[in-house]
């Protein structure tokens, strides 16, 4: 009988179903991911608010810079007109601006009236 009991106990241990696997690691991973994404969302929203405040604080400076730039363009245009009329000081100022790379030459001339310099260059070139 003893062997019979041993066989039954072996069968019972083999037949017993294994306990279901724990879902705890999966649950911990999901909670960690949700926490991480929540933190990132809150952080990005706060950063967006800060950027909006910075932009709003720079609006006044930007408008002032645009106003000064418009004034500068007006001054350069009027100086260019004076230089075209033959004013020596205005010519020096315009040459200085061009040397510094401002690239602002006085008012644009109409394409119907090419300057005399361009005509002289065209006539000076010998034909081949």
Question: Which phi-psi region, left, alpha or beta, contains residue 105 (left: φ > 0; alpha: ψ -120 to 50)?
Answer: beta
Q: pTM of the full predicted structure?
A: 0.44
Quote the strand ranges of the chain, DSSP E: none
Cβ atoms of residues 94 and 77 within 8 Å: no
**d(Cα 124, Cα 118) in Å, to the nearest integer?**
10
Give the position of tokens 């510094």. Answer: 100
**d(Cα 101, Cα 94) in Å, to the nearest integer?**
11
| Predicted local distance difference test score (pLDDT) of residue 21 | 80
Residue 104 pLDDT greater than 70, yes or no: no
pLDDT in tens, 71-97: 999 999 999 899 988 888 988 999 898
Mean pLDDT of the chain: 78
């Amino acid at each position: 009988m003893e062997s019979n009991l041993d066989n039954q106990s072996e069968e019972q241990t083999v037949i017993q179903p294994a306990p279901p696997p724990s879902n705890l690691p999966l649950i911990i991973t999901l909670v960690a991911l949700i926490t991480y994404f929540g933190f990132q969302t809150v952080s990005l929203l706060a950063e967006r608010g800060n950027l909006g405040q910075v932009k709003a604080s720079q609006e006044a400076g930007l408008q002032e810079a645009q106003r000064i730039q418009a004034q500068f363009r007006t001054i350069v245009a009027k100086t260019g007109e004076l230089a075209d009329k033959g004013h020596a000081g205005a010519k020096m100022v315009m040459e200085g601006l061009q040397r510094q790379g401002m690239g602002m030459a006085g008012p644009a001339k109409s394409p119907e009236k090419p300057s005399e310099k361009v005509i002289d260059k065209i006539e000076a070139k010998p034909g081949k």
